[in-house]
Structure 1
Amino acid sequence: MTYQELLTQTALDNEQVIVMTAENRALVRNLPGILGKRFIDTGITEQTMIGAAAGLALRNRIPVVHALAAFLTMRAFEFVRTDLGIADLPVKLSGFIPGLLSDANGPTHQAIEDIAIMRGIPNLTVFAPADEDDLVKMLPQIWESQSPAYTRINTRKTAYVHTPFEMGKAEVIAEGTDVTILTYGLLFEQALVAVDMLKAEGLSVGLINMRSLKPVDEEAILKAAASSKMLVTLEDHFQTGGLYTIVAEVLLKNQRTAKVMPIALDEKWFRPALLPAVLEHEGLTGKQIAERILGQRTNQQQPEILISEFSE
């Protein structure tokens, strides 16, 4: 099932669902003719769209709104914070081409700080599916929730079949004692490749699809930290505020120490190109990820998140 098919069926089954877009119909091309007045295109007006969605939510509707992730999270930030987060209204935000999925676009269209921005908003939940199979397994629960939600939309088709989704729970693919890779979204594909290569080098490697970033699965993070010699956070997002920061917060909150290697975009936007070239240039192919992890294991100056364990 595709995103559009799932949304169509959901809207037909529930007349409270309203589909909205800020002139970004890539994900919902067929819906205007099917939903009629329940499809609303506000034009290139993300702020207006969020305000209108809040009004509809106050009238017991469930708006599912669409825009490019960069503009949905940044141009409309104050409206998302004030109208949806503070008011705790069940508007569902679908962010198109987030992270490296915006491959050929320049910095203005790159949403690589969206996780950091959105997870700081009160009541707003944040999700990042690994691919289309993961997406369609996650969205029914996200749409049924009474909380406002931001989802990094990822409609890439892969051969991987994901387990059923549970709100706030990570998908543990494998457990490992040497290294555990924690990731989400697009880079899950590359992580699978990296895991196979690392295993071929004789390492015991774990892999976790974090998929739900707020609420986050603290238990999965802590278990991996306890069982693996090193954690690797892998994300197509700035290092600050994303998964690396989330892991640090969880470890500190629980007074735990772990060796953590971040692989992320470090305070720079990525160079636009077709996706394979972007991955290669940024060092984010499966092969490059495996090589970086192997190199880090042999380097005595490994970066660590060191949080002292306090005694009673």
Structure 2
Amino acid sequence: MTYEELLTKIALEDERFVVMTAENRALVRNIPQVLGNRFVDTGITEQTMIGAAAGLALRGRIPVTHALASFLSMRAFEFVRTDAGIPNLPVKLSSFIPGFLSDGNGPTHQAVEDVSLMRGIPNMTVFAPADEEDLVTMLPQIWNSPNPAYVRINTRKTDYKHSANFEIGKAEVVSKGSDVTILVYGMLFEQALIAVGILKNQGLSVGLVNMRSLKPVDEQAILEVAATSKLVVTLEDHFLTGGLYSIVAETLLKNRTTANVLPFALNERWFKPGRLNELMEYEGFTGKQIAEKILGYTTNAVQPEIVLPEFAE
């Protein structure tokens, strides 16, 4: 089932659902003719859309809003915070092309600080599915929860068969490892799968955890990995500050423990635009490059290097 098929099905079954967009119909092209006046396109007005969504939520509706991730998380930030977050209204934010998925777009369209921004909003929940199957598994619970929710939409497909038992606030433990465990969310899950295969072929015991619920986060999963794995790797298409690396650090400090952590993230800079496969190779985020860096670190036993390659001159 696709994102659009799922949303159509749920909206037809429950008249509380209203589908909204700020002139971004990529995910919902066929819904207007199905839902009629329960489909609202406000035009290129993300702030207006969120304000209207909050008003609808106050009247018992469940608005599912759509816009580019960069504009939904930044341009409309104050409205999301004040109109949806603080009053704890069930406004659902479907963010299109987050992180590396904006591939050929420049910095203005790159949402690489969105997790940090959204998880700082009171009552806001934050999710980042690994692929399309993960996405449609997670969304029914997210949409039916009483809280506002920010979802990094990911309709890419992988060969991995996810657990059908999704629970808000719980990670998906794919495998456990005593040498290395990779914590990842979103579209980089497929690269993590490749890296795990390479590392296992090198004789390492490798774990993989899909951190698909970022707020609330599965603290117990993080603590277990920190206690049982020699090296913890955080992998994300996001700034180093405020994302998974920060979440792990906060969790360890809160619980008065520590771990050997190697982060893969953008160090306060945007990525070089290009075709998705090319930009990931340029930035050092392919499965092969991830595995090589982990192998180099475990072999040399040096401190983690968090500064990734700079733009070419």
TM-score, normalising length from structure 1? 0.97
SS in 1 for 2:191: helix
Partner in structure 2 of residue 58 of structure 1? 58
**Partner amino acid for 1:159?**
D
SS in 2 for 1:50: helix
* CA distance, structure 2, for counterparts of residue 107 and residue 138 of structure 1: 29
Partner in structure 2 of residue 210 of structure 1? 211
* CA distance, structure 2, for counterparts of residue 93 and residue 224 of structure 1: 30
Partner in structure 2 of residue 90 of structure 1? 90
* CA distance, structure 2, for counterparts of residue 257 and residue 2 of structure 1: 40
- More displaced 10-residue stretch of structure 1: 158-167 or 242-251: 158-167
Identity of aligned residues (%): 73
1:256-295 matches, cutoff 5 A: 256-295=257-296
Partner in structure 2 of residue 154 of structure 1? 154
1:57-86 C-alpha deviation (Å, 9 max, x unpaired): 000000000000000000000000000010
* CA distance, structure 1, for counterparts of residue 284 and residue 93 of structure 2: 30
1:101-134 C-alpha deviation (Å, 9 max, x unpaired): 0001000000000000000000000000000000
Following superposition, the deviation at residue 143 of structure 1 comes to: 0.3
**Partner amino acid for 1:69?**
A
* CA distance, structure 2, for counterparts of residue 239 and residue 200 of structure 1: 29
* CA distance, structure 2, for counterparts of residue 27 and residue 303 of structure 1: 39
Following superposition, the deviation at residue 272 of structure 1 comes to: 0.6
Following superposition, the deviation at residue 159 of structure 1 comes to: 1.6
* CA distance, structure 1, for counterparts of residue 14 and residue 221 of structure 2: 34
Pairing 1:254–2:255 present: yes
SS in 2 for 1:207: strand
Partner in structure 2 of residue 308 of structure 1? none
* CA distance, structure 2, for counterparts of residue 61 and residue 37 of structure 1: 13
Give the aligned length. Answer: 305
RMSD: 1.1
* CA distance, structure 1, for counterparts of residue 157 and residue 200 of structure 2: 25
Pairing 1:301–2:290 present: no
TM-score, normalising length from structure 2? 0.96
SS in 2 for 1:262: strand
Pairing 1:76–2:86 present: no
* CA distance, structure 2, for counterparts of residue 294 and residue 194 of structure 1: 10
* CA distance, structure 2, for counterparts of residue 94 and residue 260 of structure 1: 31
**Partner amino acid for 2:151?**
T
* CA distance, structure 2, for counterparts of residue 157 and residue 197 of structure 1: 20
Following superposition, the deviation at residue 173 of structure 1 comes to: 0.2
* CA distance, structure 2, for counterparts of residue 298 and residue 114 of structure 1: 34
Following superposition, the deviation at residue 299 of structure 1 comes to: 2.8
Where does structure 1 differ by over 2 angstroms across 4 or more consecutive aligned residues?
Answer: 298-301
Partner in structure 2 of residue 194 of structure 1? 195
Following superposition, the deviation at residue 298 of structure 1 comes to: 2.2
